[in-house]
Amino acid sequence: MKSKDELRQLEIETDDDLQANEKETSLTFPNDTDYGIVHSDVATVIKWILSVEESEITDYRLKEGAIVDVRARIPKGILKLQQSARKSNAHSQMVSYGPHK
């Protein structure tokens, strides 16, 4: 398994074998842990996961040398669920990149 630093050096792509409705991001936050699990095959979110210093990559998938899917543990404190909506639903507006973008 490659390190997060090695993964950051790879291109981040979209898996063309998946249809738009199959490309997703999921969050799971067990009540009895101080971390959550994030999984995504959306390029913008993959870039975010890799940019967050505190993320711990637990699995990933490469296609033709590019990363197209990632699963990681993230501290619960990284995520904020807001009470009101943003003006945009774009994935790029959902994330704030860490120092390793």
Query: What gap in Å lies between CA 74 and CA 26, rounded to an integer?
Result: 12
Domain boundaries, the chain: 4-79+87-93
Where does the pLDDT of residue 94 fall: very low under 50, low under 70, confident under 90, or very high at 90 and above? low
Note the pLDDT of residue 54.
Answer: 92
What tens digit of pLDDT does each residue of 7-30 get?
999 999 999 999 999 999 999 999
Instruction: Compute the radius of gyration of the chain from its Cα atoms.
Output: 14
pTM reported for the whole predicted model: 0.82
